[in-house]
A and B are shown apart, each in its own frame.
Chain A
Amino acid sequence: MNPVQLLSTAELRLRAASVMVRFVTNTTKESKQDLLERLKKLEFDISEDEIFTSLTAARNLVEQKQVRPMLLIDDRALPDFTGVQTGDPNAVVIGLAPEHFHYQLLNQAFRLLLDGAPLIAIHKARYYKRKDGLALGPGPFVTALEYATDTKAIVVGKPEKTFFLEALRDTGCAPEEAVMIGDDCRDDVGGAQNTGMLGILVKTGKYRAADEEKINPPPYLTCESFPHAVDHILQNLL
């Protein structure tokens, strides 16, 4: 089996064991639709209501606060904000959008914030993995704006507790009955464990050697990949 088949098979094994599955992501460069189509093409058996993204969390907050956001997000994420007013902005929403993180636009955002606009950060990831190596995530730029304006962003994505609780809401499961599998030690595993879930760190994606030593308490389990994580769950946690 090729690597992708291994992954989708592992997912099916979970479902076969009647484990409820949710796909949670901080991705800010794909709308839910795009994500769904991409995962389906990779032969993951998944429906739209099993996906919970930080973009959804951000939109919910914008509507709740009734603000008009300056959207510093990837163009491909814009469909998730259809219907939201963005003219004459009085809030800033910031996701992973390197093309927007140039001085002029960040300065515009800075001036809005200094005037009292709230800063909503989809997440504060320090960096992500690109073909040419590690690249700055939105976290550093959110930090820059927080420092410049002496304010704190409202973070809606991982590792915030609210994100995980929102994601679990319609599963009817308590955090203690749930496991998070992720490649980001602090954001995926640390955040989930902080909510009361078990966290399994996989050594794929952005994982770097000794990442598991960076959180306290350490991950419930560190293992090679998603299929290995599923093995463990099926063998030990049901």
Chain B
Amino acid sequence: MAAWAERLAGVRGVLLDISGVLYDSGAGGGAAIAGSVEAVARLKRSPLKVRFCTNESQKSRRELVGLLQRLGFNISEGEVTAPAPATCQILKERGLRPHLLVHDGVRSEFDDIDVSNPNCVVIADAGESFSYKNMNRAFQVLMELENPVLISLGKGRYYKETSGLMLDVGAYMKALEYACGIEAEVVGKPSPEFFKSALQAIGVEAHQAVMIGDDIVGDVGGAQKCGMRALQVRTGKFRPSDEHHPEVKADGYVDNLAEAVDLLLQHMDK
């Protein structure tokens, strides 16, 4: 294996996944992952540019950042690239009025979107709001449209909460795709536009950036497809089989964010 120094040469910016890297969500606000608060602080003290690149779509950025700050993280709303704002931009550009299949916690992100007479469906991580009734309503809206458009905030299979693994938006997106015979458009990781906008926000080029995430396909594979390097953490939704994924080979596997930051700071160009 090539030495870490080689693998991490020329890194100027870091994209950090949030869930499974910084913290695990759950009851009472969830729990910070050991060492992550300090790791973020160290990154911010360093010359490296930092951007939080998350598919979080159950909470608004304000709620998410507030929660993370209470856990001790140095983070602000302006440093977060999240799918809801990106989706709003797309909706406005294309004159789309969405039926929202979302958790109430993220609804505020859609406050200045016209939701009357919907001509598309937007699906996010609705969690407990993925009731049969809500799924069925979204299905019925799509079936009534001459040109059914389904926009999905991410397509993750599952994520980790403190109580265990939880079905993610991707599973429910596939359910609607199957029911209606359509294909969803994905906003968020692993779509290249999403990664690019995160890189643009910190003025770093793909080949100078490293993505750190817990989702071998969505975070690591997706980032690599954009020309970035990517590290897989063994926290969050990580399962041992991820280290032998048939298609994706991370640029490195680390126990957690703290170890990743140690390596980055050790080997970055001085």
| Residues on A facing B (Cβ under 8 Å) | 98-99, 101-104, 106-107, 110-111, 114, 126-127, 133-137, 139-141, 143-150
Contact = CB atoms under 8 A, between A and B. Distances in A.
Given A103-B127, A114-B165, A134 B140 contact: yes
Contacts of A145: 171
Given A98-B132, A111-B164, A148-B171, A134 B157 contact: no
A140 B166 contact: no
B179 A139 contact: yes
Nearest to A132: B140
A110 B159 CA distance: 12
A129 to B, nearest CB: 12
A144 B128 contact: no
A135 B134 CA distance: 11
B197 interface: no
Contacts of B171: 110, 144-145, 147-148
B157 A103 contact: no
Contacts of A98: 132, 136
Contacts of B165: 110-111, 114
A110 B158 CA distance: 9
A140 B181 CA distance: 10
Given A99-B132, A102-B132, A147 B170 contact: yes
Interface string B153-182: 000011000001111101110111111110
B170 A103 contact: no
Contacts of B110: none
Nearest to B170: A147
B157 A148 contact: yes
B253 interface: no
A148 B136 contact: no
Nearest to A147: B174
A102 B172 CA distance: 11
A106 B167 contact: yes
A111 B178 CA distance: 22
DSSP class of A's interface residues: helix, strand, loop or mixed? helix
B238 interface: no
B167 A103 contact: yes
Contacts of B158: 110, 114, 148
Interface in B92-140: 127-132, 135-136, 139-140
Given A134-B140, A135-B136, A148 B128 contact: no
Nearest to B175: A140
Nearest to B140: A133
B232 to A, nearest CB: 17
A152 to B, nearest CB: 13
B157 to A, nearest CB: 5
A136 B135 contact: yes
29 contacts: A98-B132, A98-B136, A102-B131, A102-B132, A103-B127, A103-B131, A106-B130, A106-B167, A110-B171, A126-B181, A127-B179, A133-B140, A134-B140, A134-B143, A135-B139, A136-B132, A136-B136, A136-B139, A137-B179, A139-B179, A140-B176, A143-B175, A143-B178, A144-B174, A145-B171, A146-B174, A147-B174, A149-B157, A150-B157
Contacts of B168: 148
A149 B166 CA distance: 11
- CB-CB nearest 3 A-B residue pairs: A140-B175, A144-B171, A148-B171
A83 B12 CA distance: 64
Given A103-B127, A133-B140, A148 B179 contact: no
Given A102-B131, A127-B139, A134-B143, 11 more contacts: A98-B132, A101-B132, A106-B130, A114-B158, A134-B139, A135-B136, A136-B139, A143-B174, A144-B175, A147-B174, A150-B157
A110 B167 contact: yes
Interface in B173-206: 174-181
Contacts of A102: 130-132
Contacts of B175: 136, 140-141, 143-144
